[in-house]
Amino acid sequence: MAEAAKIHDPAASGTVLKVAGLKRYFDVSAPWLNRVLERQPRQILKAVDGIDLEIARGETFGLVGESGCGKSTVARLIVGLHGPTAGSIELEGRNIAGLSRKQMAPVRRRLQMIFQDPYASLNPRWRVRDIVAEPIRAFGLASDKAAVERRVGELLEQVRLNPRDGEKFPHEFSGGQRQRISIARALASNPEFLVCDEPTSALDVSVQAQILNLMRDLQRDLGLTYLFISHNLAVVYHISNRVGVMYLGKMVEQAPSRTLFTTPRHPYTRLLLDTIPDLDMTGRERTPVGGEVPNPINPPTGCSFHPRCPFANERCRVESPRALAMPGNATVACHGVEEGRVPEEPVLAAPAVPEGLGGSVHDG
């Protein structure tokens, strides 16, 4: 454990993961005979359609978007559960896109995933110690039985469980405790990079706070890098250094967390921020924006957001926008922002500690 327990030093950080032009298309056509008889064309679902992102060591990159925007597909592509249609995924400078199973094995040790549903991702017939020990055995990380046992105890303690809990089965634990077991399993192979797909979405808020705090502690202690996927904007704000917003398979905006939430540029990001319930009770009414996410099989032409966008014009209907570099280390894919058609006033004022939510309570 000693080699992994180094304190994260931001000065030494470099890019851990670099994704460029990543695409994943799914063929969702009807069977061949039906297509021929009913003269239907092939149907292609562009789940991920050209994503670029870079994640620095020790950082948390938050990926947000509504259901069906392709954020989970990005997660599965990065850990190699799907092969990409095009594009590259570089882990510390080495392209891991489309590697064979065998070539992928050493990469898998360094790249682990935490899933949303802690009920479905743990084998109910295995004891917790076997679940956590599986990666240790699979990668041959411990010499003998005693060493495996020691390491499992260590991991359970790391996620604030009792080493004696190893004897139990998953059903004996609550949702939050099961998510701790998933985290222990993910940490078993000493990974550097964790892909977390909605890790707290199935949990109650008080348990969510425990898991988010635990993930922060582990990141600091082990120098981990996270890709954190969630539809909950407040959670993403809390945990991330940098945030990307996805809409229908494309990255519409990317910026440091604070910038994105205080001065959102893309109209879709603004819409998302407007829909956050107002816990400060300022009396602000949420402005419900009309329309829904279109069907990704047949997305709108041009900018896929244009049917819901209040600033859209003819160009948006025809031409798909490219990601544009903005000051402050941000990118935005929007013709309106490029041409200055989208007014610049921020949606939210500069962050202030909401009174009454107990400012001092949170400082600890």
Partner 1 sequence: MAMANPLLQVRNLVVEFPTRRGTLTAVDDISFDIAEGEVLGVVGESGAGKSMTGAAVIGLLEPPGRIASGEVLLEGRRIDNLPYEKMRRIRGKEIGAIFQDPLTSLNPLYSIGRQLTETIMTHTDMTPTQARARAVELLAEVGIPAPERRVDQYPHQFSGGMRQRVVIALALCVNPRLIIADEPTTALDVSIQAQIIALLKRLCREHGTAVMLVTHDMGVIAETADRVAVMYAGRIAEIGPVREVIKNAKHPYTHGLMGSIPAIGHDADRLEQIPGSMPRLTDIPPGCAFNPRCLHAFDRCRRDRPELIAVDDGQVSCWLYDTAAGRTTAEAKAIVASRSGTAMERADG
- CA–CA separation, 247 vs 299, rounded Å? 11
Closest CA to 169 of 211, 109, 128: 128
Task: Confirm or reject binding of residue 285 to partner 1 (CB under 8 A).
Answer: yes
CB–CB of 254/242 below 8 Å?
yes
| Among positions 162, 301, 313, 329, the unique one binding partner 1 when judged by CB under 8 A | 162
- CA–CA separation, 69 vs 184, rounded Å? 29
Count residues near partner 1 (CB under 8 A): 66
Task: Confirm or reject binding of residue 287 to partner 1 (CB under 8 A).
Answer: yes
CB–CB of 303/312 below 8 Å?
yes
Task: Confirm or reject binding of residue 159 to partner 1 (CB under 8 A).
Answer: yes
Q: What token pair was written down for 147?
A: 């060493």
- CA–CA separation, 286 vs 270, rounded Å? 12
Map residues 61-100 to x or -, x wherever contact with partner 1 holds by CB under 8 A.
-----xx---------------------------------
Identity of the residue, 142 or 293, whose beta carbon is nearer to partner 1 in the bound complex: 293
- CA–CA separation, 67 vs 10, rounded Å? 33
Min dist CB 261 to partner 1, Å, is: 5
Q: With contacts defined by CB under 8 A, name the span among 4-12, 124-132, 135-143, 254-262 that binds partner 1.
A: 254-262
- CA–CA separation, 190 vs 36, rounded Å? 52
Phi, psi of 33 (to 5 degrees): -65, -45
- CA–CA separation, 248 vs 307, rounded Å? 13
For partner 1, the binding residues in 6-65 under the rule CB under 8 A are: none
| Among positions 161, 184, 188, 337, the unique one binding partner 1 when judged by CB under 8 A | 161
Identity of the residue, 100 or 206, whose beta carbon is nearer to partner 1 in the bound complex: 206
Task: Confirm or reject binding of residue 298 to partner 1 (CB under 8 A).
Answer: no
Residues of the shown chain interacting with partner 1 in the complex, contacts defined by CB under 8 A: 66-67, 159-162, 174-177, 180, 204-210, 212-214, 216, 231, 233-235, 237-239, 258, 261-262, 271-281, 285-290, 292-293, 348, 350-358, 360-364
